[in-house]
């Protein structure tokens, strides 16, 4: 097995195990950070999402516009 891969897996395991001791506030902060990173990732790699959510980057998910099937199909190549 590749030693670099094993090292990466062990490093990720260590990071995940550390989360088992997080306080509730740390869990909430971690979720917020992960969601922000996911939204940035989508906007940086998808012209559609960058345009669809422009100006709404910091809004709660419940306040984002609903993506309909028609909009999805019409903009499929941009996704």
Q: How confident is the model at residue 1 (pLDDT cuts 50, 70, 90)?
A: low
CB 37 within 8 A of CB 19: no
Q: How confident is the model at residue 76 (pLDDT cuts 50, 70, 90)?
A: confident
| pTM greater than 0.75 | no
Cα–Cα separations (whole angstroms), residue 72 to 31, 47, 77, 79: 27, 13, 9, 8
pLDDT in tens, 11-63: 999 989 988 999 999 999 999 999 999 999 999 998 888 998 999 988 998 99
How wide is the angle at C-alpha 60 spanned by C-alphas 58 and 16, nearest 5°?
A: 90
């Amino acid at each position: 097995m590749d030693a670099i891969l094993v090292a990466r897996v062990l490093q990720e395991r260590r990071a995940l195990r550390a989360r088992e001791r997080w306080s509730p506030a740390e869990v909430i902060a971690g979720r917020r950070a992960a969601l922000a990173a996911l939204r940035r990732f989508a906007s940086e790699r998808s012209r559609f999402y960058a345009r669809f959510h422009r100006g709404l980057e910091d809004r709660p998910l419940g306040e984002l516009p609903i993506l309909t099937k028609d909009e999805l199909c019409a903009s499929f190549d941009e996704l």
